[in-house]
Amino acid sequence: MVALVTPMHADGSVDWQALERLVNWHIEQGTHGIVAVGTTGESATLGFREHDEVIERTVEIVDKRIPVIAGTGGNATDEAIRLTRHAKRVGADASLLVCPYYNKPSQEGLYRHFHAIAMAVDIPQILYNVPSRTGVDMLPETVGRLAEIDNIVAIKEAKGSIERIHDLIEHVGDGMDIYSGDDGTAMESMLVGGKGNISVVANVVPRLMSDMCLAATAGERERAERLDADMQSLHTALFMEANPIPVKWALQDMGWIEAGIRLPLTPLAEHFHEYVREALRGLDLLRD
């Protein structure tokens, strides 16, 4: 599944035509699901109305061809419930709920936050743990408790630790699916039992990422390793600055989107341009 960027014009307004092009391209290239307005989609800087509109428009463009997962998390429980209710109303297939950021709730606070959302909105829900960005790490024991709730169906785990994937599998059993949220360790996560990858790198190489995920989830280690090796330069280059700065610059360089990004994020620093461009060039991703 691609953690899709939100394309913007140079003035920061949402570029609806580019969004349609990107979504159709991903479907043509074999992407298995679209995550709309996750953190890669700059959810933190889109207003409520924009957030709702991007999800609604993505659902319309996809037109049931593949699942749409709506990013509806927040650090206020009431806000997350409001966004999740809207996502269900407009036809999203599931929601992706990031751990509350900055306010650093306890493990009990995390449990109650996600429990409240699950009770309020009857839609399949995917938890999202990314401690490097939120400042809080949802532990496997807490995830195990949440796995007992029927409509909490999966977790996107972005700690970047294979040990954590093993721990989650031990705690949740068949209670939920485990997806990687870290491109650099995604292949190994799937080979040890993860069910997929919610990917930033897929923004620029959807077919390659799709093929790697299919190989890894099928247990085809040799093929998965070969495909993942082709993406190693992207795993590094697309995280040289805070996501989604490098991936939006890459898509701009590839001709897919304009140079739009919302403050306080700024365009990729010039001294990183050639690193990203070299990674793109190595996979023949730049247009003449």
Q: Which residues are catalytic?
A: 128, 156
Q: Do the annotations mark residue 84 as ligand-binding?
A: no
In 3D space, the residue among 41, 96, 55 whose CA is nearest the CA of residue 262 turns out to be 41
Q: Do the annotations mark residue 40 as ligand-binding?
A: yes
Residues 171 and 164 sit within 8 Å (Cβ to Cβ) = no
Burial class (CB in 10 A: 0-12, 13-18, 19+), 279: buried
Strand partners, 35: 3, 69
Annotated binding-site residues for pyruvate read: 40, 198
Annotated binding-site residues read: 40, 198
